[in-house]
Structure formats: C-alpha cells, structure tokens
Amino acid sequence: MAKERSDFRGQYEGEEVLYMFRKHPVVMRKGLILFMVAILLGTIPSFIKPELSYFYIGIGSGIVLGVLLWLPSWIYWYYSVYILTDQRLIQITQKGFFNKKVIDLALSQIQMVNYEIKGVQETLLGFGTMTIQTIVGNLVIHDVHKPAHVQHELLGILRARGIAINAVSAPQDQEEQASE
C-alpha cells in the first residue's frame, strides 16, 4: 500500500515517511474460515427446532462469534505495517491485542532487496516473500502484496537517497526482463 498517513508514533523530528506497505490480505484467511464456520454452526439450532426465530437467533449468534474469531486476524493485518522513512525502515508487527514487535533498520544497513513468488497461490493472488539483506542479517517478510512493485519502490527510494544497493528478483522475472 502506498503512503496512507504521513506520521506515526515514534517518528523522529524532521523524519519524512516515503513509503508504507502492509502484507497481503490473504494473511486473514484463517480468521475468515473461522468466521464462515461460526456462521455455519449458527444454523444448527434451526435444524434442531425448525422455527424462524431459532434460525435468526442462531445466525445472529454465529455472526457475532464469527466476528470475534475473525477480529484477531484483522488486527494482525491492519496494525502490522512496514514504513520506509528518509532515515530508516521500520517493521511493526502486531500479534493479537497485547503483543507488538518493532524492528528498526537504518537505511545505510540495507545491502540488498530480493523477492520470491513461489507457487500457484502466490502467483494467482499476487503476493510473495521479500528478503531484505542487511549488515546484521536478513529481514524476511512473508505474504507481501505485489512484491515486485514494493521492491521497485524501495530500490527507487534507496537509490534516490544515494544508497548503493543490489537487487535480485525471482528467476522467472529475470527471464521475462531479458526477453523484453
């Protein structure tokens, strides 16, 4: 996702947000499946006593239960964000309500940005894995929405800032680029 907001908690004075992205919404699939199962379970009371009131009460209860089961997945997706500023790359990962993890990398530590799209599901839905190689190790980001676009944006920003960086895309993409 492109730049949604221009500031965040923990931002340094004079620091400018250049790019912001999230994971693909596919990370919510477990919560969506639980939501559908809860609605399905909500129909059971109408099978036991086939009255319209039991059906509506069961479906209503199933929807409420489904939302409660889906909510942690949505929180994980919505509040897990990657922010590239003019000084650093910040990874904020939210797991549930009370577990937050923050990784902060200076732009000068980034050495290489790679991505990989592997398999039918990733190809059809347009998500993949990005690996940001740094001086201190690799930052692997799974389920990135449109990783080729995100890599292009990151490299463009880094090169515009004068940071020499290497980029390697998936082998299939290199073959496509060579044929063009």
Whole-number Å distance between alpha carbons of 123 and 146: 10
Same domain? 169 vs 111: yes
Domain end residue (candidates: 9, 43, 74):
74
Same domain? 146 vs 69: no
Q: Could you tell me the pLDDT band of residue 46, with boundaries at 50, 70 and 90?
A: confident
Dump pLDDT digits (tens) for 10-22: 787 888 888 999 9
Q: Could you tell me the pLDDT band of residue 166, with boundaries at 50, 70 and 90?
A: low
Residue 5 lies in a domain: no
Expressed as residue numbers, the domain containing 128 is 17-23+80-179
Please list, in sequence order, all residues whose beta carbon lies within 8 angstroms of the beta carbon of residue 114, skipping any fewer than 6 positions away. Answer: 130, 131, 132, 133, 151, 167, 168, 169
Whole-number Å distance between alpha carbons of 153 and 147: 10
Q: What is the CATH number of the domain that holds 141?
A: 2.30.29.30
Dump pLDDT digits (tens) for 59-106: 999 999 999 999 999 999 999 999 999 889 999 998 878 899 999 998
pTM: 0.76
Please list, in sequence order, all residues whose beta carbon lies within 8 angstroms of the beta carbon of residue 169, skipping any fewer than 6 positions away. Answer: 114, 115, 148, 151, 177
